């Protein structure tokens, strides 16, 4: 094999170029080849090639153009990249695809920053458009960016919804997925009154008289799942297909459903049977805090779903795995919820809205939803079953609890290849930065949150200046040796992988964002462009236990790859956000393309 002798300089990084590598004894012509491009392999050296060949759904050659000759046959499809960028398909390590697909079909606020009047007008428009709905028909509103309501600090309550011209029960779901705002009719049907106690892992907001305000956090809003019309299997399948269609356009070739119910997995299983599954589908079954009293039973439930849906050894054709379990350790740090579990108290306003005086508070948010002993026992039981735990932790106390639990797991099963992940990690105590590496725990970060915006800047008074410096610590964790994986958390935000990766590098919002959201967030250095790409490829593949077959472009691995309209390693960092995917290939099959091939 000839050696490529040139190198590619990208910013401050020197990327060595790969030698040509092929699968031994390749005897047949390739199905598809790419040449004359910039091929980012995401291998251990971050190396670059010019050409790649696919045969039988796998990569059989990576190297220079000349080395393609033995793989060319009369039926080989040849794609001249004309200098374009080819890289591994994106691996989204944390999303909620059925919920996300369903939001495309519901009354949506589209994550917009709204005044109360605009908020009400949008919902009233949905109500007015449903001419056939009766007074007992629920309206569910989604994609409410509660933290960006304008002006900053404005509050909402059931009175906000009661002012609408309707008798229908109405619930509005925050895009963060932890908060619901309900009108009085919905609270009445849910039997939520001043006498209703906060459930384990949830909070009912109350006014000065003790009456529910209409805002409900986490487990406190679970009641609506039983009251709202349950989606049919056909509804869920349509949602799954809609999600897959959005994913292919973003270049996503693998994903983790980070809180999968039975019906969510069933929807993708139906899509799989129909031959329309175009991304590798991984599912994490949720274990609720109440189940921690009997870890063996909780894990048995996970294993029953695994036995029903998991397809075993992965193959080039996309399939389904059920090898993860989701545990919520807290809520969200964002105001006004403040349900993230914190080591130090949130600050509080001892003055007035007009003349604020922020002082040390007493609330550290809720207790971590899983008591330490119960979390340890659950993680160890999952480890014995070969299930990777995926923990939601927003606040630094929840992060520490998760890391402490992993430490006990490692003590109990020191040789087991269990790959725990802690998702979100929005605030982490500096003393814990190095523990991710020492405990081999992946930090799964929604990189798009690491910018000035309503949710982050809304914490300024509650956190104080020192904590704000290390908010969304992607670069700080990376410097401490943590493996960073990317997870969009869609539909918490709109699906825009490339904007998220750009934010991971720049720590800035979009150029046209409001003036108060300009500049960088905190003191975190951010990620290099290459580190951001690795977070969304090989690192997330490791998280999902598929790095041996996907996540990098190497001979013998599955042909999961994408072609871009620009080189994210060479353009100005701000321009990464505008990246367009020109082709998406999964297991050697083209699932989306805007390219010409011959």
Least confident of 159-163, 499-503, 511-515: 511-515
Residues 50 and 64 sit within 8 Å (Cβ to Cβ): yes
User: For residue 135, what are the contacts with CB-CB under 8 A and spacing of at least 6?
Assistant: 167, 168
Q: Which residue has the higher pLDDT, 145 or 302?
A: 302
| β-pair type (90-95, 252-260) | parallel
- Each residue's pLDDT tens digit, 381-415: 999 999 999 999 999 999 999 999 999 999 999 99
Mean predicted lDDT score pLDDT of the chain: 93
* CA-wise closest residue to 556 among 73, 52, 37: 52
Tokens of 435: 């523990």
Alpha-carbon distance values, 304 to 120, 188, 301 (Å): 44, 37, 5
Q: At residue 26, does pLDDT exceed 80? A: no
User: For residue 92, what are the contacts with CB-CB under 8 A and spacing of at least 6?
Assistant: 247, 252, 254, 255, 256, 486, 487, 488, 490, 497, 536, 540
What local confidence, expressed as pLDDT, does residue 218 receive? 86
- Exposed e or buried b for every residue in 491-528, given b needs 16+ CB within 10 A? bbbbbebbbbbbbbbbbbbeeeeeeebeeebbebebbb
Tokens of 23: 């699968």
Q: Mean pLDDT, to the nearest integer, of 440-455?
A: 96
What local confidence, expressed as pLDDT, does residue 248 receive? 98
Tokens of 375: 């979390």
- Each residue's pLDDT tens digit, 115-157: 999 999 999 999 999 989 999 999 999 989 888 888 877 899 9
The pLDDT-based confidence of 1 (bands split at 50, 70, 90) is: very low
Q: Pick the most confident of 11-25, 110-124, 548-562.
A: 548-562
DSSP states of 136-178 as a string?
T--EEEEEE-GGG-SSTT----HHHHHTSS--S-EEEEETTSS
Quickly count helices (H) and strands (E) in the chain.
Answer: 18, 29
Write down the residue that tokens 């598809």 correspond to: 32
What local confidence, expressed as pLDDT, does residue 105 receive? 80
DSSP label at 572? -
Residues 459 and 365 sit within 8 Å (Cβ to Cβ): no
Q: At residue 98, does pLDDT exceed 70? A: yes
User: For residue 232, what are the contacts with CB-CB under 8 A and spacing of at least 6?
Assistant: none
Residues 188 and 206 sit within 8 Å (Cβ to Cβ): no
The pLDDT-based confidence of 19 (bands split at 50, 70, 90) is: low
Q: How many CA atoms lie within 13 A of 402 on its CB side?
A: 35
The pLDDT-based confidence of 46 (bands split at 50, 70, 90) is: confident
What local confidence, expressed as pLDDT, does residue 483 receive? 98
In which region does residue 177 sit, left (phi positive, over 0), alpha (psi from -120 to 50) or beta (all else)? left
Q: Which residues pair with 284 in a beta bridge?
A: 324
What local confidence, expressed as pLDDT, does residue 27 receive? 55
Rounded CA-CA distance 444/487 in Å is 6
What local confidence, expressed as pLDDT, does residue 278 receive? 98
Q: At residue 12, does pLDDT exceed 50? A: no
Q: At residue 568, does pLDDT exceed 80? A: yes
Q: At residue 11, does pLDDT exceed 50? A: no
Q: At residue 6, does pLDDT exceed 70? A: no
Q: At residue 3, does pLDDT exceed 60? A: no
- Each residue's pLDDT tens digit, 308-330: 999 999 999 999 999 999 999 99
Rounded CA-CA distance 231/8 in Å is 51
Write down the residue that tokens 């869920």 correspond to: 236
- Each residue's pLDDT tens digit, 479-493: 999 999 999 999 989
Q: Which residue has the higher pLDDT, 22 or 503?
A: 503
- Each residue's pLDDT tens digit, 223-268: 998 999 889 999 999 999 999 999 999 999 999 999 999 999 999 9
What local confidence, expressed as pLDDT, does residue 23 receive? 59
What local confidence, expressed as pLDDT, does residue 486 receive? 98
Residues 163 and 194 sit within 8 Å (Cβ to Cβ): no
Give the long-range contacts of residues 364-367, CB within 8 A, separation 24 or more: 364/397, 365/330, 365/331, 365/333, 365/338, 365/339, 365/340, 365/341, 365/395, 365/397, 366/201, 366/203, 366/330, 366/331, 366/339, 366/341, 367/341
Q: Mean pLDDT, to the nearest integer, of 546-559?
A: 98
Q: Which residue has the higher pLDDT, 540 or 131?
A: 540
Q: At residue 28, does pLDDT exceed 90? A: no
| Percent with pLDDT over 90 in the chain | 85
Please compute Rg for the chain using Cα positions: 24
DSSP label at 578? G
Q: Give all domains of the chain, ordered by start, each with its CATH number.
A: 8-89+556-593 (2.30.40.10), 101-227 (3.10.310.70)
Q: At residue 190, does pLDDT exceed 90? A: yes
What local confidence, expressed as pLDDT, does residue 478 receive? 98
| Percent with pLDDT over 70 in the chain | 95
Rounded CA-CA distance 224/139 in Å is 11
Largest Cα–Cα separation, the chain = 80
User: For residue 118, what are the contacts with CB-CB under 8 A and spacing of at least 6?
Assistant: 112
Helical pair 295-309 and 372-385, crossing angle rounded to 10 deg: 30
Q: At residue 16, does pLDDT exceed 70? A: no
């Amino acid at each position: 094999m000839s050696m490529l002798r040139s190198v590619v300089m990208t910013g401050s990084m020197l990327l060595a170029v790969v030698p040509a590598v092929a699968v031994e004894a390749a005897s047949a012509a390739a199905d598809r080849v790419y040449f004359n491009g910039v091929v980012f392999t995401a291998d251990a050296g971050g190396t670059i090639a010019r050409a790649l060949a696919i045969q039988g759904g796998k990569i059989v050659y990576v190297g220079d153009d000349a080395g393609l000759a033995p793989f060319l046959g009369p039926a080989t499809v040849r794609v001249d990249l004309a200098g374009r960028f080819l890289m591994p398909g994106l691996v989204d390590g944390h999303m909620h695809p059925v919920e996300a697909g369903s939001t495309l079909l519901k009354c949506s606020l589209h994550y917009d920053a709204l005044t109360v009047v605009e908020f009400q007008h949008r919902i009233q428009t949905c109500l007015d458009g449903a001419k056939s709905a009766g007074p007992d028909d629920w309206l569910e509103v989604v994609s409410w960016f509660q933290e960006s309501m304008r002006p900053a600090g404005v509050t909402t309550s059931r009175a906000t919804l009661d002012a609408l011209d309707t008798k229908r029960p109405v619930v509005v779901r925050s895009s963060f997925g932890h908060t619901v705002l309900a009108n009085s009719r919905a609270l009445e049907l849910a039997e939520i009154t001043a006498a209703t106690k906060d459930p384990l892992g949830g909070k009912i907001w109350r006014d000065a008289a003790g009456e529910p305000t209409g805002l409900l956090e986490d487990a406190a809003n679970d009641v609506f799942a039983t009251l709202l019309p349950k989606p049919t299997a056909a509804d869920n399948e349509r949602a799954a297909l809609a999600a897959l269609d959005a994913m292919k356009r973003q270049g996503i070739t693998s994903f983790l459903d980070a809180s999968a119910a039975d019906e969510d997995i069933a929807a993708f299983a139906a899509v799989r049977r129909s031959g329309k599954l175009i991304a590798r589908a991984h599912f994490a079954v949720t274990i609720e805090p109440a189940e921690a009293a009997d870890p063996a039973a909780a894990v048995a439930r996970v294993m029953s779903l695994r036995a029903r849906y998991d397809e075993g050894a992965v193959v080039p054709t996309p399939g389904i795995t059920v090898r993860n379990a989701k545990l919520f350790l807290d809520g969200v740090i964002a105001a006004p919820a403040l349900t993230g579990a914190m080591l130090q108290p949130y600050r509080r306003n001892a003055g007035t809205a007009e003349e604020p005086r922020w002082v040390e508070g007493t609330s550290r948010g809720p207790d971590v939803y899983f008591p330490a002993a119960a979390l340890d026992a659950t993680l160890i039981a999952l480890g014995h079953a070969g299930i990777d735990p995926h923990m939601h932790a927003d606040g630094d106390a929840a992060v520490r609890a998760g890391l402490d639990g992993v430490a006990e797991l490692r003590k109990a099963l020191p040789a087991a290849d269990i790959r725990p992940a802690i998702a979100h990690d929005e605030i982490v105590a500096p003393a814990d930065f190095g523990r991710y590496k020492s405990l081999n725990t992946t930090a799964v970060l929604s990189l798009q949150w690491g910018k000035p915006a309503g949710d982050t800047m809304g914490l300024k008074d509650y956190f104080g200046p020192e904590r704000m410096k290390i908010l969304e610590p992607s670069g700080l964790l990376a410097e401490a040796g943590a493996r960073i994986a990317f997870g969009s958390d869609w539909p918490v935000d709109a699906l825009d992988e490339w904007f998220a990766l750009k934010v991971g590098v720049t720590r800035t919002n979009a150029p046209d964002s409001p003036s108060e959201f300009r500049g960088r967030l905190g003191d975190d250095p951010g990620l290099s462009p290459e580190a951001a790409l690795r977070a969304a490829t090989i690192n997330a593949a490791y998280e999902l236990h598929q790095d041996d077959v996907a996540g990098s472009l190497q001979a013998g691995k599955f042909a999961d790859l994408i072609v871009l309209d620009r080189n994210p390693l060479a353009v100005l960092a701000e321009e990464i956000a505008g990246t367009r995917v020109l082709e998406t290939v999964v297991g050697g099959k083209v699932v989306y393309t805007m390219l010409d091939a011959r």
